[in-house]
Structure 1
Amino acid sequence: MGGMVRTPLTPEERERGERLGRLLREARGPRSMAEVAAEAGVSAETLRKIETGRAPTPAFFTVAALGAALGLSMDELAARCAPVGV
């Protein structure tokens, strides 16, 4: 990997990423990562990174597509993953 310089994540971003990952894992339940990723039109690798908190600031489109595949509304996702104290 080269080319893109990543700015370090703030603790808030990291925590939000972990919450999002947990929420998606719970919602996915027994379904395979590959199945959910395919339905959402994202790569399984992308889903894995988000679920493990390694992609804490995924694109809005990606989150929306995963939410739709998992039956989660954007309201639900936003409420569960919003920064604390806002």
Structure 2
Amino acid sequence: MRRGIYAPLTKHGTILVDDVIASCYALIDNIYIAHASFAPMRMYHDISQLVPDFGVSSTANISSRQPTGVHWYARVLYSLGKRLFSKDTLYVH
């Protein structure tokens, strides 16, 4: 077990936690916008599963790496969201 905060991105935008279905999206009040915004990342993941070495070196062992921080794609979306949406739509402090 590790301490920290985790925000996994799932194929459907939801995750089951202690028998409760929860959303994977934490910063926006509209799940449809959030899910559509991450469509390119889901598509990239789907293609990378079908095409060997799509965007990843064959020598890289992805499963052994522990990512830290916020993924660059989510950071870009958050930056754009702050410019495009009101504070009522985003959970911004």
Same fold (TM over 0.5): no
Higher strand share: 2
Q: Who wins on radius of gyration, i.e. which is larger?
A: 2
Give the TM-score normalised by structure 2: 0.27
Give the TM-score normalised by structure 1: 0.28
Choose between structure 1 and 2 for higher RCO, CA contacts under 8 A separated by at least 6 residues. 1
Higher helix share: 1
